[in-house]
Amino acid sequence: MKITLRQKPLKDGNASLYLDYYDKGKREYEFLDLYLVPDNAPDARRLNAAAMQKATAIKAERTINPEGRHSRTDGNADGDKRNKTPKLTEWIQTVYDMKEKAGCSNNVLWNINHIKELVEEYLVSAKKRDPRIGRIEKNFLVSFLQYLQNDHTIAICKKSVRHLSAGTLKQYQLLLATILNVAVKEDIIGSNPFGALSEKETLATPASTRTYLSIDEVKRFMEARCEKMTVVAEECKMAFVFSCFTGLRISDIRSLRWCDIQGINGIPHVRTTMVKTKKPIFVPLSMNAMLWMPKREEGANDTTLVFAKLPSASASLNDYVRRFAKAAKIEKQISFHTSRHTFATLTLKASKDLYVVSKLLGHASINTTRVYAEVLDSTLEDAIIKQEGILKKTTSNALKSSASR
Output the furthest CA–CA distance in the chain (Å, rounded): 91
Is the full-model pTM beyond 0.85? Answer: no
Give CATH 1.10.443.10 domain extents, the chain. 215-404
Quick one: which of 328, 384, 332 has its CA closest to 356?
Answer: 384
- The pLDDT, as a whole number, for residue 12 is 73
- The pLDDT, as a whole number, for residue 389 is 61
Contact 330, 213 (CB under 8 A): yes
State the virtual CA torsion across 84, 85, 89, 92 in degrees, nearest 10.
150
- The pLDDT, as a whole number, for residue 242 is 97
Pick the CATH number of 215-404 from 1.10.443.10, 3.10.180.10, 3.40.640.10, 1.10.238.10: 1.10.443.10
Helix (H) or strand (E) holding 357: helix 354-361
Can you list the alpha helix ranges (DSSP code H) found in 71-137?
77-83, 88-101, 106-126
Contact 180, 218 (CB under 8 A): no
Helix (H) or strand (E) holding 5: strand 2-9
Contact 58, 32 (CB under 8 A): yes
Quick one: which of 254, 268, 247, 259 has its CA closest to 338?
Answer: 247
d(CA 154, CA 402): 38
Strands 26-36 vs 15-23: parallel, antiparallel or unpaired: antiparallel
Q: For the chain, percent helix, then strand, then coil, each to nearest 5?
A: 55, 15, 35
End-to-end distance of the chain based on CA atoms, in angstroms? 80
From residue 61, alpha-carbon distances to 120, 240, 283, 326, 376 in Å are 32, 68, 70, 69, 74
- The pLDDT, as a whole number, for residue 391 is 63
pLDDT in tens, 7-33: 988 877 888 888 888 888 878 878 887
Give CATH 1.10.150.130 domain extents, the chain. 88-196
Pick the CATH number of 88-196 from 1.20.20.10, 1.10.600.10, 1.10.150.130, 3.40.50.300: 1.10.150.130
Contact 221, 317 (CB under 8 A): no
Contact 115, 178 (CB under 8 A): no
d(CA 386, CA 317): 30
Per-residue 3-state assignment (H helix, E strand, C coil) for 316-353? HHHHHHHHHHHHCCCCCCCCCCHHHHHHHHHHHHHHCC
**Low-confidence residues in the chain, pLDDT < 50:** 72-75, 367-378
d(CA 344, CA 338): 10
pLDDT in tens, 305-342: 999 999 988 888 999 999 999 999 999 989 999 999 88
Can you list the alpha helix ranges (DSSP code H) found in 156-296?
166-185, 215-223, 231-246, 250-254, 287-291
State the virtual CA torsion across 304, 307, 313, 319 in degrees, nearest 10.
170
CA neighbours closer than 13 Å in the CB half-sphere of residue 98: 11
